[in-house]
Structure 1
Amino acid sequence: MNKRIAYHVATGLVLGTGLSACVNDAGVDVGQGTFVPAYDGVQTRRLDDKLVSFVVQMQGARGPQDVEDYAECAAAQYTLIRGYGFARHVRTQVENNNDVWVADAVYTISPALPDGVQKLDAEVVVANCRHQGIPTV
C-alpha cells in the first residue's frame, strides 16, 4: 500500500491527510488501471517576499488531486530552497483541457510555523514527494 501523506498542522497538532492507492512495482494502480503521469513543469512567481504562486502542468492525471499534489511538491521544495521550513496553502485553481491539467497554487512561506489551518512541513512533504515519484522544483 502506497500512501500520500501531507502533514498539516491545525491548532498545534500534526495531522496526516492523504491519498492512498494500491500500486505494484510497475506503477500500475491495481484498483483503477495504469497511472503514468507526465509532469510538464513548474512556473514559479514570487508575488512578494513570502507569497509565491506555482503554476504546474501535467498529463495523465487521474483527477484534480494529482495536479494539486504536484503543486504542493513544488511549493515544499521552493520553501526549502529559500531557506524556510514551512508553507501555508492559500488557494489552488485547477483546469483540465483535453487531459492537460494545470494548477495555479498560491502558498506563503515562512521560517516558523505560520498561522492558519492548511500548513505543511516542507521537509516532510518533499521526502514524501520523492517517495511517490512526484518531481519538485
Structure 2
Amino acid sequence: MGQRAASLALAAVALAGCQTAETPRVDVFRPAYAGVETRLLEGDLVNFIVAMRGARDDKDVTDYAECAAAQYALIRGFGFARHVRTTVQEEGGLWSGDAVYTVSPDLPRGLRTIDAEVVVDNCLAQGIPTV
C-alpha cells in the first residue's frame, strides 16, 4: 500500500503541474476607429461624436473622445480642455460616444480638466487617433 500511495502522490504532482500551465489569451484588443465629428456648440463648448468597433468597454470610447478633444484644443491654439459629459452606446458592435468639452487657453476650474499636449502625446503612445 505504501508504493500505491507514493504512485498516487506522484501522479497528483504531475497533474497539478499540468493544471497550472498558463492559458494563452485570445482576446486581443484590435480597435477600429471610425472617425470623429466635431461641432462647435457655443463659444468654447465643443461636441465630439466618435465611433469605433472593437471597444472593450465604455472607457475605450471615452478615451477616443478625450483624444479628439485634446487635439482639437491644440489646433485651436488652446492648451486645456474640461470634460463636461460623455454618453456611450453600443449597437451591433459599433460603439459611439457623444462627448462635450470646453476648451481654453488657461487651466479651467473643475476636476475633470486635461492638459491637451500631455493627452495628445499619451494618445499617440497608445495608438489612439486624434482629430
Structure of larger gyration radius: 2
Superposed, which structure 2 residues align to 1:45-84 within 5 Å? 45-84=39-78
Paired with 1:32 and 1:88, the residues of 2 have a C-alpha distance of 37
Q: Which has the higher strand share?
A: 1
Segments of 5+ residues of structure 2 without an aligned counterpart are 1-23
Aligned to 2:99: 105
Tell me by how many angstroms 1:39 deviates: 0.1
The one-letter code sitting in structure 2 at the alignment partner of 1:90 is V
Tell me by how many angstroms 1:74 deviates: 0.2
Tell me by how many angstroms 1:48 deviates: 1.2
Length-normalised TM-score, structure 2: 0.80
Paired with 2:25 and 2:122, the residues of 1 have a C-alpha distance of 21
Q: Which has the higher helix share?
A: 2
SS at match of 2:70: helix
SS at match of 1:83: coil
Which structure has more relative contact order (CA 8 Å, sep 6+)? It is: 1
SS at match of 2:129: coil
The one-letter code sitting in structure 2 at the alignment partner of 1:110 is S
Tell me by how many angstroms 1:49 deviates: 2.1
SS at match of 1:128: helix
Q: 1:85 to 1:60 in 2, by over 3 A?
A: same
Instruction: Give the paired residue count.
Output: 108
CA RMSD for the aligned pairs? 1.2
Q: Which runs of 4+ in 1 moved over 4 A?
A: none
Aligned to 2:112: 118
Length-normalised TM-score, structure 1: 0.77
